[in-house]
Amino acid sequence: MDTAKKAELAALFLQAGKAHHQAYIETHGDDPEWPLWYAVHLKESLPALLGVEMTQSRIVYELMHLDDTADVSKEHWTQVYAERLLEKYG
């Protein structure tokens, strides 16, 4: 696995997470529609970094699937999401 690309993806997710929390600071980051917000925020940078075309709908799907299936008990979610997406699209 490309560790540099994994680090870039994890940093992208970390930045998006911070931006999301800031956008929803009044609710302490609580947003039941978070995949939609992330998809809009990541719509250009995520596909470019992965080197694949992705619609916002695809990004939402991937984020929801990762949220449902990723085991984040040992690693930070940003690392797990980056690794899983690289396994699939890398």
Q: For residues 32 and 34, what is the distance between their CA atoms, to the nearest angstrom?
A: 6
Q: What's the pLDDT tens digit per position in 8-20?
A: 999 999 999 999 9
Distance separating alpha carbons of residues 85 and 90, to the nearest angstrom: 7
pLDDT score, position 89: 93
| Burial bucket for residue 27 (CB in 10 Å: 0-12, 13-18, 19+) | exposed
Residue 29 pLDDT exceeds 80: no
Q: Does the model's pTM come out above 0.85? A: yes
The single-letter code of the amino acid at 7 is A
The rounded distance, in Å, linking the Cα atoms of 66 and 71 is 9
